[in-house]
């Protein structure tokens, strides 16, 4: 039987509107020098560029996070038994941590823990650098390779390198194509920071032993409920609806809600909290067809949910992940709150609730796609911003 190919991804994934644009298929095909497919336009699924030369190897289909072909193999490999008993996947332990370095803490998204651990790995020469993402403007990030503290600080949460002409930007997306960046650094030992869809694809590549995953030493996974996409009309609508200006956004945190810290004209700061269910109109469509919240195939998962402000929730999953975490802790790179078993269980429960919510959302969304009512899926509840400060 012929393997399925990119043509099948078009009919089974793209046409349903559920391509997560993770870039896995394109990265493999171009890293293997086949060069059959590419992202022709930003914020759209990839497409053929040399269809007639396709080798029909089927790898793009196997590694796509929306085909789930390798689920069972990965589940065995990563010790993840079944969803109903383990909605957050297999894990070694859970922590609430903070960077001890003042720069990583000050500029970090939550506790500055991801960048602190990456810097520790670079200093220990366990990696040459990491694929990370820097914010060019609020709601728009770009992948890049960081191999120094300075580089990592550029990738921190609050270091917004504001584009001078924000109003001229046509489309904003919080999603970063970190996997595509791997192709440029095939001869280096790498860590990668990624969302669950991206880490899943990399694990599929590693399972099949295909390029460009061979040099990925560490997968640093971010918790991810959804990403946002705005075209010009939607960004205007968003700013009007929530009575904010993109220029004012100083920081974006994601916990039980999406929290924006605004720097106002008079120099003061204001935090506003936007509940997820009021942001439906701005969510990337494919994110509604995604089930992994807690990044179950990462070496370590990181999130804001379940930890206090300026702390990062850390879920160690693989032996390798737990080992580097413990070493970083012993070296004093990060510090952890002293949590009781009861508190840890509460954190796991909260993360499990979001994981389950995501699975239920996909099931509803796919029903809407099948019965053709998705276009009418708009926000219905009235909205009131919960002001924090
Ligand atoms: C798009 C997105 C959605 C998220 N959703 C949730 C959520 O629903 N619930 C939750 O609890 N936490 C979520 N998080 C994780 C949370 O916002 C923090 O990134 C996490 O707690 C780590 O904080 P930190 O201060 O330790 O990281 P830092 O030390 O500040 O390091 C963060 C690292 O992440 C990299 N990074 C930032 N954005 C991206 C991106 N888009 N793709 C790849 N790498 C990136 C940065 O370059 C940096 O290296 C999300 C993060 C992102 C980027
Ligand atoms: S050559 Fe292989 S990876 Fe590339 S598009 Fe064809 S089937 Fe997919
Ligand atoms: S591998 Fe990623 S980019 Fe390619 S079709 Fe699947 S979801 Fe889309
Ligand atoms: S919700 Fe997160 S993991 Fe899922 S498709 Fe969107 S960005 Fe990827």
Percent of the chain at pLDDT exceeding 90? 69
Q: How far is CA 76 from the centre of its chain?
A: 23
Ligand 1 atom with least separation from CA of 110? 25
Name the residue of 89, 202, 225, 290 to mutate for ligand 4: max ligand atoms within 8 A of Cβ. 290
Q: Which ligand is nearest to the CA of 290?
A: 4
Instruction: Give the range among 4-8, 11-15, 159-163, 323-327 with minimum mean pLDDT.
Output: 159-163
CA–centroid distance, residue 141 to ligand 1 (Å)? 11
Under DSSP, the state recorded for 199 is H
Closest Cα to atom 2, ligand 3: which residue?
22
* pLDDT on residue 377: 38
At 299-334, the pLDDT tens digits run: 999 999 999 999 999 999 999 999 999 999 999 999
Mean pLDDT over 24-37 rounds to 96
The domains of the chain are located at 1-69, 89-387
Mutate to test the pocket of ligand 1, among 99, 103, 109, 260 (most ligand atoms within 8 A of CB): 109
**14-32 average pLDDT score:** 95
Residue 381 has pLDDT above 80, yes or no: no
Task: Answer whether 194 contacts ligand 1 (Cβ < 6 A).
Answer: yes
The answer to whether residues 309 and 259 touch, using CB atoms and an 8 Å cutoff, is no
- pLDDT value of position 232: 82
Give the largest Cα separation in the chain, rounded.
67
For residue range 276-294, list pLDDT tens digits in order: 999 998 999 999 999 999 9
- Nearest protein Cα to ligand 2, atom 4: 29
Please write the tens of the pLDDT for every residue from 208-240: 999 999 999 999 999 999 998 888 888 889 999
What number of CA atoms fall less than 13 Å from residue 138's CA on the CB side?
19
Q: Output the six-digit token pair for 179.
A: 């996997």
pTM: 0.93
Tokens at 216, concatenated = 């990925």
Give the pLDDT band of residue 168 (cuts 50, 70, 90): low
Per-residue pLDDT averaged across 235-263, rounded?
90
* Choices 3.40.50.300, 3.90.1150.200, 3.30.70.2190, 3.30.70.20: CATH for 1-69: 3.30.70.20
Supply the Cα-derived Rg of the chain in whole angstroms.
Answer: 20
């Amino acid at each position: 039987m012929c393997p399925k190919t990119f043509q099948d991804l078009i009919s089974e994934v793209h046409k349903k509107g559920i391509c997560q644009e993770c870039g896995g298929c394109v990265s493999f095909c171009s890293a293997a020098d086949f060069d059959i497919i590419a992202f022709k336009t930003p914020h759209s699924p990839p497409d053929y560029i040399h269809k007639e030369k396709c080798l029909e190897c089927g790898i793009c289909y196997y590694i796509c996070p929306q085909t789930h072909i390798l689920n069972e193999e990965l589940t065995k490999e990563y010790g993840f038994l079944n969803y109903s008993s383990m909605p957050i996947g297999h894990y070694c332990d859970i922590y609430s941590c903070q960077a001890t370095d003042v720069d990583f803490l000050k500029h970090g998204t939550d506790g500055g823990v991801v960048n602190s651990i990456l810097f520790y790995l670079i200093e220990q020469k366990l990696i040459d650098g990491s694929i990370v993402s820097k914010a060019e403007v609020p709601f728009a990030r770009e992948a890049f390779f960081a191999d120094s503290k300075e580089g990592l600080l550029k990738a921190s949460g609050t270091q917004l390198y504001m584009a001078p002409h924000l109003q001229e930007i046509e489309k904003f997306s919080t999603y970063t194509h970190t996997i595509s960046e791997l192709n440029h650094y095939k001869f280096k030992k790498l860590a990668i920071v990624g969302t669950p869809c991206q880490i899943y694809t990399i694990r599929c590549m590693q399972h099949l032993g295909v390029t460009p995953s061979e040099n990925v030493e560490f997968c640093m996974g971010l918790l991810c409920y959804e990403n946002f996409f705005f075209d010009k009309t939607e960004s205007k609508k968003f700013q009007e609806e929530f009575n904010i200006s993109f220029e004012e956004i100083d920081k974006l945190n994601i916990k039980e809600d999406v929290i924006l810290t605004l720097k106002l004209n008079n120099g003061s700061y204001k935090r506003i909290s936007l509940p997820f269910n009021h942001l439906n109109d701005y969510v990337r469509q494919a994110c509604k067809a995604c089930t992994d919240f807690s990044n179950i195939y990462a070496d370590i998962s990181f999130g804001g949910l379940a930890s206090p402000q300026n702390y990062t929730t850390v879920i160690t999953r693989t032996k390798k992940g737990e080992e580097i975490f413990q070493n970083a802790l012993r070296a004093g790179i990060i510090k952890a709150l002293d949590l009781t078993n009861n508190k840890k269980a509460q954190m796991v429960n909260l993360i499990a609730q979001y994981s389950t919510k995501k699975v239920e959302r996909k099931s509803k969304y796919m029903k809407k796609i099948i019965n053709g009512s998705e276009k009418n899926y708009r926000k219905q509840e009235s909205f009131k911003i919960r002001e924090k400060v």
